[in-house]
Amino acid sequence: MTADQETVLVTFNAQDALASFDPVAAGIVKLRESYGGLTINGLDDKVGLKKVHAARIDVKRVRVGVEHTRKRLKADAVAFGKALDSRAKEITAPLLELEQDLQAKEDAIAAEKEAIKQAEREAKEERLKERMALLEAVNSKASPFMVSNMMAGEFDDLLTKATLEYEAEQERLRVEAQREAEARAQREAEAKALDEQRAAAAKEREELDRAAAEVDRKNAEIQARLDKAAAEQRAESDRLAQERADLEHEKALEAARAEAKAEAEAEAKRREERREAQERAAKAEAERIEALKPENDRILGFSQMLRDLVVPDCRVRDDIYRLIDEVCEEIEGMVNL
């Protein structure tokens, strides 16, 4: 700051500067009283015009004096402001330097505190990641916000509870899977048993068909033998008749008739005995064959085996039972034909 500026700071007084206008302000009332009532009565009122002109000049003089005083005082005020700014700058410069040094020290501490907080936040985030990984491993749905604010003991309790629930759920799923596997094995076993039953039934049907065919074949053989025996019997009868005729021609008519009659009676008796023997033999053979093929019993037994089948539990179980009943009724109807 210059010497002139120091002088301005010492000599300038704002109150005194403002007080310089007080006399003029006080004189305004007097001027109004003196000049406020002046008038000009028309163009010919030269005296009135002169008085008004003189009054205006006087008021202008006072106004111009106030303006000069204002400019002078303002120049002093401007000089004072510049001197004030210069002096304040001289004072604030070392203060600002000191303040900035102190601010740097505060900033260093604040930065250290922020670094500590950042490290704590990073540690907290890392701890949260570890906790969430542990919880996710046991399918826990705990929110990260809740977990992040838990104390170590609280988190341990939560993890223990979640682990127990997870292990219980895994055990439940294992038991359920085992039950499903056992049920599947049972269904497969039942299906296999049903297939075996069907195979056995088919095999038995084949055996029945073969047995029936064998019975038919044997019946045909027996009928052929019976037909052959009948043909031989007729041939034998014809031969004997021819012999009797030849004998009757050789002997006397009466003796021939008597002998022929006796012979015919004897032959008739023999034929009857042979016929009875043949009938007995045929009956015995038929009974033997019938004993070999209890067809109706086997058919009814097969029908009863179908009725005794156990159908596995399924959505068409009733339909299968109904179909079995219809088939068995059809088979049993064949027996009664």
**Rounded CA separation 175/8 (Å):** 103
Average pLDDT over residues 64-68: 92
Contact assessment for residue 312 and residue 194, using Cβ atoms and an 8 Å cutoff? yes
Confirm whether 103 is domain-assigned.
yes
Contact assessment for residue 85 and residue 36, using Cβ atoms and an 8 Å cutoff? no
What's the N-to-C CA distance of the chain in angstroms?
A: 146
Q: Which residue type is seen at 211?
A: A
Q: What is the pLDDT of residues 145-196, one digit of tens each?
A: 888 888 888 888 988 988 998 889 899 999 999 999 989 989 888 888 888 8
Average pLDDT over residues 206-216: 76
Contact assessment for residue 21 and residue 69, using Cβ atoms and an 8 Å cutoff? yes
pLDDT computed for residue 3 by the predictor: 63
Confirm whether 27 is domain-assigned.
yes
Of the given ranges (112-116, 127-131, 205-209, 290-294), which has the lowest mean pLDDT? 290-294
Confirm whether 95 is domain-assigned.
yes
pLDDT computed for residue 135 by the predictor: 83
Give the SS3 label for residue 197.
Answer: helix
Which value, to the nearest 10 degrees, does the dihedral of the CA atoms of residues 314, 317, 318, 320 take? 150
pLDDT computed for residue 160 by the predictor: 92
Contact assessment for residue 296 and residue 275, using Cβ atoms and an 8 Å cutoff? no
**Rounded CA separation 207/215 (Å):** 12
Q: Give the residue from 83, 118, 153 where a domain finishes.
A: 118
Say if residue 78's pLDDT is above 70.
Answer: yes
Confirm whether 267 is domain-assigned.
no
Q: Give the residue from 84, 118, 152 where a domain finishes.
A: 118
Q: What is the pLDDT of residues 262-280, one digit of tens each?
A: 776 777 788 778 777 777 7
Q: What is the pLDDT of residues 117-149, one digit of tens each?
A: 898 888 888 988 988 898 888 888 888 888 888
Say if residue 303's pLDDT is above 80.
Answer: yes
| Listed ranges 204-208, 236-240, 284-288, 320-324; the one with the highest mean pLDDT | 320-324
Phi then psi dihedrals of residue 213, to 5 deg:
-65, -40
Provide the CA 124 distance to its chain's centre, in angstroms: 34
pLDDT computed for residue 292 by the predictor: 45
pLDDT computed for residue 300 by the predictor: 84
Tokens of 22: 């007080």
Q: Which residue type is seen at 40?
A: I
Tokens of 266: 């004897």
Confirm whether 195 is domain-assigned.
no
Question: CA-based Rg of the chain, rounded to a whole angstrom?
Answer: 74
pLDDT computed for residue 46 by the predictor: 92
**Rounded CA separation 208/214 (Å):** 10
Q: To the nearest whole percent, how much of the chain has pLDDT over 70?
A: 89
Q: Give the residue from 75, 95, 118 where a domain finishes.
A: 118
pTM of the model: 0.30
Average pLDDT over residues 196-219: 79
Tokens of 222: 């027996």
Confirm whether 68 is domain-assigned.
yes
Residues spanned by the domain of 81: 3-118
Mean pLDDT, the chain, integer: 81
Say if residue 245's pLDDT is above 50.
Answer: yes
Q: Return the closest-CA partner of residue 23 out of 57, 54, 69, 56.
A: 69
Confirm whether 185 is domain-assigned.
no
Confirm whether 73 is domain-assigned.
yes
pLDDT tier at 56, thresholds 50, 70, 90: very high
Give the SS3 label for residue 149.
Answer: coil
| Listed ranges 30-39, 191-200, 205-214, 240-249; the one with the highest mean pLDDT | 30-39
Number of domains observed in the structure of the chain: 2
Say if residue 1's pLDDT is above 60.
Answer: no
